[in-house]
Structure 1
Amino acid sequence: MRISTSMMFERSQNAMQSRQSDLSKVGEQVASGKRVVSPSDDPRASSQALIVKQDQAIQEQYKNSRTSATSALEAQDNTLDSVNKLLYTGKGLVVQAGNGALSDSDRASVATQLEGLYNQLTGLANGKDSNGQYMFSGSKGDVQPFTPGTDANGDFVMNYAGDSEPLNMKVDASRLMDVNATGTNVFKVPSTAAGDAESDLFTAFQTAITALRTPKTPDNQDALRADLDKVNRQLDAGLDNIGSVQTTVGSKLNELDILGNIGTSRMISNEGALSDLQDLDYAEAISRYTLGQIGLEASQKMFMQTQQTSLFSLIR
């Protein structure tokens, strides 16, 4: 096969351009710190890296959900602590009010203290979390759950505007967690062994307040004692219920910690996998860059020599 001068020129030019392209590619890799700059560099590694990145994005979403869930549950736990302390204080006042030596004014004074506790309890029950959502409205976070009122007989009732569906969050691939307790469950008073019907903490406080503000007479003293004994039992039942709710909240917080540790480990593993698939071996890349420079210089010299190879260069 006869090789023409133009063919020699074209081949030398192509070789030089190929060397320049290779050197440019290594330069991009060194600059970016990535072995795979574009999918064509390693289609298999690029495909695997895409799968890992998608999982990493999902894990990040779960992490954000766990952060929100933890914040919501911690806010409830703090509120329940306050409710617990308030109920113990209220129970002490109810026991104190049962002292037969107290006068009507003494009992009225205790009633005023209980009313203050009742107002605090209502405030806690209508408390909001860090996102401005009502904690005990179930899935209706924008609706105030509790509003006091009266029934058809004029008796006190606490109206509940929330629902019975707790708010839930996807905190892991296979875990959908309820992150709040509905107000009707938190502030209820379960029925007691003494036969007291199920009620709520607000009604228990109002029963005590009304009884203590009623002047004591021989005719109603037994009823007063019965009301205070009933409220005392109800507060005990309410304390047990609050303790049960707190235990559930604590268990969920512990679970979130465990899921968080697992998620962190998975994200670290994903980062390692991405590094193996994409990151550049600088020592090897610099070696290739050096060899590429030598090759480019050699091809440039060959190109220059090819340009000079002509019959006309022999004519003097």
Structure 2
Amino acid sequence: MQISSNLMFDRSSSRMSQLMATATKLNVQIATGKKISTPSENVTVAQQIAEFDRKDADAAAYAINLKLSESLLKQADSTLGQITEQLQRATDLVTQAATGTLSDSNRKVIGSELSALVDAMVGLGNTKDLRGQPLFGSASGTDAVIRNANGTFTYNTAPKLSEIPIGDGLTVQPTETASRVFNSGAGDTLAMLAQLASALQTGTDQAGAARDALAPLKAAGDQVSVVQASVGARAARVDLQQGLLQSTNLDRAELRSSMEDIDVTETYAELSKTLTILSATQQSFSKLSQLSLFNYLR
């Protein structure tokens, strides 16, 4: 009989310990909203959550890079649009100058305006981006377009600009080089326009010089259009990647929640059930502990 009583005490005590441990765990889950509080509780889930943390950090970095790329590409597109407007105005002026009806003085006025357009395009070529760096230049911070004393131009840009990571194994070039913008198959656009402006102001056969410049001007406009189309395609790619990143983030958050977060209603119900059983077990144990050998024999 004594052995049986000890066994009953041991079983009741063990049962209460288990129930109290379960109640404590459920209380912690309700307080934190998480299924596990230490990795040792579920190593597999803990490792997966750690991987989620890494991917969340990568996604946050990619989101910043995508926003930067989006801003730079928009600025590049806008600036290229302004350069196109300047080239269109230059084409209109050169077309006028190519006619035989204008006087030399009129062509000199056109030459002066062309010179001003060249200055404007040099300024656009040296536009600073939102980081204070040359939009169409290198990372050194120096001007992208340098006007030399002899009337030529130097483009202080690398053959290819550095790219920005926007996803796992994905990068994007966020802007363009000034040399690609202003160099077409017909040569250096700015140098050609500067020379034409000078010829219209001081040279002879001004109408002939203007006519000779029309084809290179068209090539120059086509080149800027090609560059702008490339920028637009990259902007569309960035926009697509932003959408994919947001979708992936949502999917990962849902999966993480299913592995990590508790169902509050279900957990409260489980806690209530555990506490009810614990209370009943405690009452039974209390009655059992009050039994004496005399009461038992009776």
Q: TM-score band, normalised by the shorter chain?
A: 0.7 to 0.9
TM-superposed CA distance for 1:77, in Å, is 0.6
Which runs of structure 1 show a deviation greater than 6 angstroms over 4 or more consecutive aligned residues?
A: 4-11, 310-313
Instruction: Report the structure, 1 or 2, having the larger helix content.
Output: 2
Question: Does the aligned pair in 2 maintain the 1:137–1:183 contact within 8 Å?
Answer: yes
Q: Which runs of 5+ in 1 are unaligned?
A: 192-197
CA change 1:277–1:260 in 2 (3 A) is same
Q: Distance in 1 between matches of 2:99 and 2:211?
A: 12
Select 1:186's aligned residue among 181, 199, 212.
181
CA change 1:141–1:267 in 2 (3 A) is farther
Question: Does the aligned pair in 2 maintain the 1:39–1:46 contact within 8 Å?
Answer: yes
- Single out whichever of 274-283 and 7-16 deviates more from structure 2: 7-16
- Deviation per residue, 1:235-264 (Å, 9 max, x gap): 111101001111111111122222222222
Q: Distance in 1 between matches of 2:232 and 2:191?
A: 27
Match of 2:127 in 1: 127
Match of 1:149 in 2: 148
Give yes or no for the alignment of 1:87 onto 2:76: no
Q: Distance in 1 between matches of 2:218 and 2:255?
A: 56
- Deviation per residue, 1:142-174 (Å, 9 max, x gap): 222112112xxxx31112222222120122223
Q: Distance in 1 between matches of 2:246 and 2:125?
A: 35
Give yes or no for the alignment of 1:225 onto 2:207: yes
TM-superposed CA distance for 1:64, in Å, is 2.4
Q: Distance in 2 between matches of 1:125 and 1:35?
A: 57
TM-superposed CA distance for 1:12, in Å, is 5.8
- Single out whichever of 104-113 and 240-249 deviates more from structure 2: 104-113
Match of 2:116 in 1: 116
Q: Distance in 2 between matches of 1:18 and 1:293?
A: 11
State the AA in 1 paired with 2:176: A
- Single out whichever of 169-178 and 16-25 deviates more from structure 2: 16-25
Q: TM-score, normalised by structure 1?
A: 0.82
Once the two structures are superposed, the pairs formed by residues 145-294 of structure 1 within 5 Å of their partners are: 145-150=144-149, 155-191=150-186, 198=187, 200-214=188-202, 220-221=204-205, 224-294=206-276
TM-superposed CA distance for 1:13, in Å, is 5.8
TM-superposed CA distance for 1:270, in Å, is 0.8
Q: Distance in 2 between matches of 1:253 and 1:165?
A: 18
TM-superposed CA distance for 1:175, in Å, is 2.1
Aligned length: 296
CA root-mean-square deviation: 2.8
For residue 152 of structure 2, give the secondary structure of its aligned residue in structure 1. strand
Q: TM-score, normalised by structure 2?
A: 0.87
Match of 1:44 in 2: 44
State the AA in 2 paired with 1:100: G
TM-superposed CA distance for 1:71, in Å, is 1.4
Q: Distance in 2 between matches of 1:213 and 1:310?
A: 124
State the AA in 2 paired with 1:169: I
Q: Which runs of 5+ in 2 are unaligned?
A: none
- Deviation per residue, 1:32-60 (Å, 9 max, x gap): 22222332332222222322332333233
TM-superposed CA distance for 1:10, in Å, is 7.7
For residue 157 of structure 2, give the secondary structure of its aligned residue in structure 1. coil
Question: Does the aligned pair in 1 maintain the 2:100–2:207 contact within 8 Å?
Answer: no
TM-superposed CA distance for 1:308, in Å, is 4.4
TM-superposed CA distance for 1:11, in Å, is 6.9
State the AA in 1 paired with 2:231: V
State the AA in 2 paired with 1:58: D
TM-superposed CA distance for 1:135, in Å, is 1.2
TM-superposed CA distance for 1:17, in Å, is 4.5
Match of 1:195 in 2: none
Match of 1:194 in 2: none
Q: Distance in 2 between matches of 1:306 and 1:230?
A: 113
TM-superposed CA distance for 1:307, in Å, is 6.0
TM-superposed CA distance for 1:8, in Å, is 8.0
- Single out whichever of 270-279 and 82-91 deviates more from structure 2: 270-279
TM-superposed CA distance for 1:278, in Å, is 1.1
TM-superposed CA distance for 1:176, in Å, is 2.4
